[in-house]
Chains A and B, each alone.
Chain A
Amino acid sequence: MIISLQHLHFHYRKAQPVLENVNLSLAPGRIYGLLGRNGAGKSSLLYQLCGLLFPTSGECKVMGYEPAKRLPAFLQQVYLLPESFHLPDMNITQYLRLFAPFYPSFDHDAFKRHLVAFEIPREQSLQALSHGEQKKVLISFALATRAKVLLMDEPTNGLDIPSKRQFRKVIAGCLEPDQCMIISTHQVKDLDSLIDEVLILEGHGILLQESVSRITEKLSFRQVMSLEESEAPIYSEGALKGYVVVAVNRQAEHSRLDMEMFFNAVMVEKEKILSLFQQ
């Protein structure tokens, strides 16, 4: 396991816990999708993993290191792409010269390729770029660091429609077997074809951690004209043509996971769904 949290607690103020008794084991070579409502603690969790926040109690181990100690040997293998950021007043070449040396595995060719894929001009001053373009520079940088642990907080926020596609292509081509990516997102439709495993953060802890294949083994996602057509529906939403249904997968169907529906279903029918996965 590349990331292991045990009984991790964290609060800013004692009366208001942010993370309570979080237990989590994440493997390399996988992309995890971190889902949760606003204020559920997604960003706080990511910050714990890269040493920007320290646990109040409990254990946090990433690649065998304790992030809170912030050892250089640890920091050069982890990268956090924050949701909001501020870039210094310089051009991309200067930015690289300043920041790339912190990452010994930094891949300059890959960085160039990603910039080309995102159609970012290299000579531009970073400040002259739009917010979306700045984000693309940071995404390119993040992937080029070849960090073993890559944390991305809402990476597709602010990207235009064609760039979301580029983003998926770039990520799909980058994942290494010894690398673990965690992507926190509300834009599940942008990313659902990339995610191996779903983490849902709710009530200050990890409510659910399941691979996409296990979710679709237990549940079936389908569209039906009337609710009677579907066996054992757990959750449904009205749609233009009938209903979208999350049901117990009794026929061993191979349906496609609708991550948005799944998330809503977990929020509304917590016990029913969790009990399916506990079997």
Chain B
Amino acid sequence: MEFNNTQAIYLQIADYVCDQVQLQHWPPEGKVPSVRELAVNLEVNPNTIMRSYEYLQQQGIIYTRRGLGYYVSEDALRKVIALRKEQFLQEELPQFFRKMFLLGVELDELKARFEKFKTRQAKA
């Protein structure tokens, strides 16, 4: 895994876990790799993985079974989508709006494009 330079590593790892959940590589109620396993895999300090897992636990995406390790929550997929939607609205959308504003693009102009995009996605 390549880390980018801008976001804290523990959040990038949390993002990676969310990807695995969203892509259903890690199914609900399935076991999450152990802290050590993921640390070796991603070449990061195990304490950093711990921090990512604690963060994901707070978000309700994973949970611990005592003595057994971490598991994917039953409704993890819904929570990942909710979390990512919130992130999109809070972080990416303002930047997008800023560009629109700078370039003088109006919302109406985008609407038709977005409808077209949606039909293309539906076909694909």
Contacts and interface: CB of A to CB of B under 8 A. Distances in A.
B7 A194 contact: no
B121 to A, nearest CB: 31
Interface stretch (A4-12, A64-72, A165-173): A165-173
B45 A256 contact: no
A223 interface: yes
Given A31-B45, A172-B42, A194-B43, 12 more contacts: A169-B41, A172-B36, A172-B44, A172-B45, A175-B45, A193-B3, A193-B42, A196-B48, A223-B5, A223-B6, A256-B5, A256-B6
Contacts of B11: 254
Question: Chain A interface mostly helix, strand, loop or mixed?
Answer: mixed
24 contacts: A31-B45, A31-B47, A168-B43, A169-B40, A172-B40, A172-B46, A173-B40, A175-B46, A193-B43, A193-B48, A194-B43, A194-B44, A196-B47, A213-B51, A221-B5, A222-B6, A223-B5, A254-B7, A254-B8, A256-B4, A256-B5, A256-B7, A256-B9, A257-B8
A46 to B, nearest CB: 20
Contacts of B6: 221-223, 255-256
A216 interface: yes
A165 B43 contact: yes
Contact of A193 (B4, B41, B44): B44
Interface residues of A, number: 23
Interface of A: 29-31, 165, 168-169, 172-173, 175, 193-196, 213, 216, 221-223, 254-258
Contacts of A165: 43
